[in-house]
Structure 1
Amino acid sequence: MKAVILAGGLGTRISEQSHLKPKPMIEIGGMPILWHIMKLYSHAGITEFVICCGYKSYQIKEFFANYVLHRADVTVDLQANSTVVHNQNVEPWKVTLIDTGPLTNTGGRLKRVAKYLNDTFCLTYGDGVSNVDIQKVIAFHKLQGVEATVTAVQPSGRFGSLEIDGERVTQFMEKPAGDGRWVSGGFFVCEPSVITRISGDEQALEGAPLEALARDKQLAVWKHRDFWASMDTMRDKQFLEDLWNTGKAPWKLWQ
């Protein structure tokens, strides 16, 4: 099974860094968040990826083209013009990198990689991490017999919550519970037929395609009640960075 990752957007809400690099290449713990997402799928036994590139796509391509050098010790003999790689520590991944255009919408990006998807596939965004059990989502999807399954999450609130008594704050919560509503957390499992519901580059997957699937009762939901986070802002990045640096990153399921 393949995992498709949408990695082509402009990342305008985290422009402090996305003006220099694609949002999925912004680092958590010294490695791009895209790498963290791929490690999640690899932990679940999925090692073949289709990356939908767009904005500054060459940076993602260069990262994987030089991945062995990033992850290994090397000896470079300048006079002989040779390189010897030592202690390779690379994952058994097969990565297909497709430039789907800088302004293409999420549905359009998926439609552009259709020829690489001939069977059931996973699909997610290039900015979200979770400790969701991907194999359980896949098994659930197959039991439901539908065209697509979406992972639903209940994110925490974005702003600090205050309990107030008169003129005094009695309790402050930095990451309060949200309003209890379920939202799409990505981590889809899809059949290729989903792509036939997408009209073209301008169409968002989250619009008419998913609405039609829901209307036709072809969109199942896996409710994930544990950790999920999306890196939309610098505050989100710092939150994830702090979890990683303190050894408390819930999405680090691999050894």
Structure 2
Amino acid sequence: MQAVILAGGIGSRLKPITDYVPKPLIPINNIPIIEWQIRYLKKFGVNNVIICSGYKSEQIRNYLEHRKNLGVKIQYSIERAPLGTGGAIKKAAKLLREKSFLVINGDILSTIDIRKLYKKPNCIALVELRTRFGTVDLDGDKITRFKEKKPIRAVWMNSGIYHLQKDIVGGLPSKGAIEDTAFLKYAAGGRLFGIKFSDDFWCSIDSHKDIEECSKTMKMKNYEKFVKQG
């Protein structure tokens, strides 16, 4: 199985860090996000990774070329201008050799078993909606229950991890988001599937606070041991 890592974003919400390094090279517990992702993919048998990069792409390549012990083949699809998720996958398609492939957004860290996605042709890993804020239950204007930063049960969100058939590429825009184009069309036609993951670790690095919270959770769950286990 090949995997595409979408690592071309500028990471504006993580400035000033991203003024100096691209988002995929931001360290979480002393290891850059993209290395965590490659270790994660390798754990589940992925040995061929295509990195879609644009902003400061030379830094990503230089870092990974010095990490010879990752044990996977790495190829690069370089964007000269931002293409969006759909455009990035379309550009990388010339490097795809299999009938299906995985896609992971370049800011996602998780324990989701990606092999479960292979059961369906065009499939999204779904996680329960997370809120950054406390939620409450109300009886009129009286708060009857206060819940601090808990998942909202039975409301599912896109995790940014996909298993896609190669023939989806023809319907992707040269520039634009897959979520706003092919996914809408496939969902309307009943050809887009989802696999639910309710108890797995999942985080998206979108803010400075995410770095701190994700780092703590990864330590608590001993994520390094997880990705080392085959």
Task: Name the structure 2 match of 1:106.
Answer: 85
The code of the aligned residue for 2:205 comes to M
Q: TM-score, normalised by structure 2?
A: 0.88
Q: TM-score, normalised by structure 1?
A: 0.80
The code of the aligned residue for 1:198 comes to L
CA distance in 2, matches of 1:224, 1:55: 31
CA distance in 1, matches of 2:226, 2:209: 20
Q: Does 47-56 or 21-30 show the bigger shift?
A: 21-30
Task: Name the structure 2 match of 1:252.
Answer: 226
Task: Name the structure 1 match of 2:164.
Answer: 190
CA contact (8 A) 1:130 1:251 kept: no
Deviation at 1:57, TM superposition (A): 0.5
The code of the aligned residue for 1:112 comes to K
The ranges of structure 1 where at least 4 consecutive aligned residues each deviate by more than 4 angstroms after the TM superposition are 161-164, 169-174
CA distance in 1, matches of 2:216, 2:181: 37
Deviation at 1:163, TM superposition (A): 7.9
CA distance in 2, matches of 1:223, 1:187: 12
CA distance in 2, matches of 1:234, 1:103: 23
**What SS does the aligned partner of 1:9 have?**
coil
**What SS does the aligned partner of 2:36 have?**
helix
Higher normalized helix content (fraction of residues): 2
Task: Name the structure 2 match of 1:128.
Answer: 108
**What SS does the aligned partner of 1:153 have?**
strand
Aligned residues: 225
Task: Name the structure 2 match of 1:57.
Answer: 57
Task: Name the structure 2 match of 1:97.
Answer: 76
Deviation at 1:172, TM superposition (A): 6.6
CA distance in 1, matches of 2:90, 2:225: 29
**What SS does the aligned partner of 1:113 have?**
helix
CA contact (8 A) 1:9 1:102 kept: no
Deviation at 1:246, TM superposition (A): 4.1
Deviation at 1:10, TM superposition (A): 1.1
CA distance in 2, matches of 1:176, 1:244: 18
RMSD of aligned residue pairs (Cα, Å): 2.5
Deviation at 1:253, TM superposition (A): 4.0
1:32-73 deviation digits (Å, cap 9, x = unpaired): 1111111111111111100000111111011112223xxxxx
The code of the aligned residue for 2:226 comes to K
CA distance in 2, matches of 1:149, 1:110: 15
**What SS does the aligned partner of 1:187 have?**
strand
Larger Rg: 1
Inter-CA distance 105–116: structure 2 relative to 1 (3 Å threshold): same
Deviation at 1:174, TM superposition (A): 4.6
Deviation at 1:248, TM superposition (A): 4.2
CA distance in 1, matches of 2:171, 2:124: 16
Q: Which of 177, 184, 205 is 1:231 aligned to?
A: 205
CA distance in 1, matches of 2:225, 2:106: 14
CA contact (8 A) 1:24 1:126 kept: yes
Matches within 5 A, 1:63-212: 63-68=63-68, 90-119=69-98, 120-138=100-118, 140-141=119-120, 146=121, 148-161=122-135, 174-178=148-152, 180-201=154-175, 203-212=176-185
Identity %: 28
CA contact (8 A) 1:22 1:59 kept: yes
**What SS does the aligned partner of 1:95 have?**
strand
Inter-CA distance 54–254: structure 2 relative to 1 (3 Å threshold): same
CA distance in 2, matches of 1:235, 1:190: 31
The code of the aligned residue for 2:30 comes to G
Task: Name the structure 1 match of 2:190.
Answer: 217
**What SS does the aligned partner of 1:206 have?**
helix
